[in-house]
Structure 1
């Protein structure tokens, strides 16, 4: 039987929860994962891939209806999941998220910091509050779940994966706060690898390229209002399932860095070795394909 629990991020002590059995088949059998922002999009498909590999997964999101729909969808396919309705920029909520994994499944082996907010606005036009909101979601939205989860990951010698973007490898106009936040995750992972060397905990970063989005995906404009994401031609995009499979492979191989797509690797090489050329390419595409950024 597949069961689930919805845990609210509240300070009051929760009623005792019966421990649930973990899957016994698959390369990740016996392991427990948390995927932030797994109510939809890449997070949902990553949770699906983890479940297919034998892991039990704690789903997370801020929209109760989407979270419940994803839970039902995965359970119908035979997955073992629990849910935690939590804002990952709230540390107390992240503690409740981690406690869901411990109370329901008894352990934690994998943390995927996926949830974040993006933008579609130039820095000059953005209010400080909107910039901070985007930056907080990308930085503290990864730091807070990790801080709450780390004691348990040290016990299991587990794995931490930050979901970043190719935008962290080279600046992207109209994405200042998002790019800054994603770039911060690279140095955070590097620093933690050094600080926690010898503990057995894996820290990795996946730089995602252009990926198909759910129809209802929104980003913030300069005033903080939700707007559709900039249009990209389908031929430039990977499917969410393709990206999830790459993330799963990254975790299983405990890689330090994964850059998705040839474009991503090209950006990394050009930015690292020929930064002026990289700037010229971006500025040229801005002039010719302004809607790509706006």
Structure 2
């Protein structure tokens, strides 16, 4: 049982995709700390089980399911795990995705599709499987996007396109399901400290380390997770993490040419930031 059965989220069930590691794992930990039961998801069975055991040892109610979120049948099994384990579903956080480190002109078409599918169908399929239960609970859906979706980013074409699509998807769903009581929100994550073994895809589809990010620009995974959970609890439509993200949003909205000039300048002077 949860170590905080009287917490503010006691009785609720949260499913977080891509939660075997990184931000997803820490988001699951925050939900558990607040009393929710959590359902973990990932592709690596050993790592997923390690995370499940770690959270269970902390006293949280936790279940886990190995599932590829770009496979609808697998997503149906994932949602079934939540219902079979805890009897309901209140929160869906679609965090699982693949990123890239490759310029569009160099990318193999199948790599572009793989990255795009992970970011779009990796949110659409879990939601389609979960929606009947979320309608019943009048629950919450949060798509994890990126600040790079606000203005684009060189060497991130498929990733940026997929993350931008999630914002429009959330807006459309708010309109279609306005009377349902279900919350649809988007969190645009900024630069975050990554697990040491985190990898993204290069132009040929091979896993490579993520491009350099100055440590002073990065938030910890725990900080980001806390913001995500606060976003869910407040049922916010959009949360942009970091001052840089909010600056990008303002400049892109009001002075888009200035924003593009800054990005192009940084691309010339800080190539390791993109490559």
Taking structure 1 as the reference length, what is the TM-score of the superposition? 0.92
Match of 1:59 among 23, 40, 45: 40
Residue 102 in structure 1 maps to residue 101 in structure 2: no
SS of the residue 1:50 aligns to: helix
Residue 120 in structure 1 maps to residue 101 in structure 2: yes
* TM-aligned CA deviation for residue 65 of structure 1: 1.1
The equivalent of 1:270 in structure 2 is 251
> Aligned partners of 1:157 and 1:150: how far apart in 2?
10
> Aligned partners of 2:154 and 2:80: how far apart in 1?
39
Deviations 1:144-179 (A, max 9, x none): 000000000000000000000001101100000000
* TM-aligned CA deviation for residue 24 of structure 1: 3.1
2:4 and 2:33 in contact (8 A); partners too: no
**Runs of 4+ residues over 2 Å off in structure 1:** none
For structure 1, the residue ranges without an aligned partner over 5 or more in a row are: 3-21
Taking structure 2 as the reference length, what is the TM-score of the superposition? 0.99
> Aligned partners of 1:114 and 1:236: how far apart in 2?
21
Match of 1:239 among 196, 205, 220: 220
For structure 2, the residue ranges without an aligned partner over 5 or more in a row are: none
* TM-aligned CA deviation for residue 231 of structure 1: 1.2
> Aligned partners of 2:232 and 2:6: how far apart in 1?
18
Match of 1:38 among 19, 30, 33: 19
> Aligned partners of 2:134 and 2:180: how far apart in 1?
10
> Aligned partners of 1:50 and 1:231: how far apart in 2?
30
The equivalent of 2:232 in structure 1 is 251
SS of the residue 2:133 aligns to: helix
Residue 285 in structure 1 maps to residue 266 in structure 2: yes
* TM-aligned CA deviation for residue 23 of structure 1: 6.5
1:160 and 1:201 in contact (8 A); partners too: yes
1:23 and 1:80 in contact (8 A); partners too: no
Aligned residues, how many?
275
> Aligned partners of 2:262 and 2:6: how far apart in 1?
48
Residue 131 in structure 1 maps to residue 131 in structure 2: no
SS of the residue 2:151 aligns to: coil
SS of the residue 1:169 aligns to: helix
- Please report the RMSD computed on the Cα atoms of aligned residues, expressed in angstroms: 1.0
> Aligned partners of 2:122 and 2:6: how far apart in 1?
32
SS of the residue 1:213 aligns to: coil
Q: Residues 211-226 of structure 1 correspond to what in structure 2 (within 5 A)?
A: 211-226=192-207
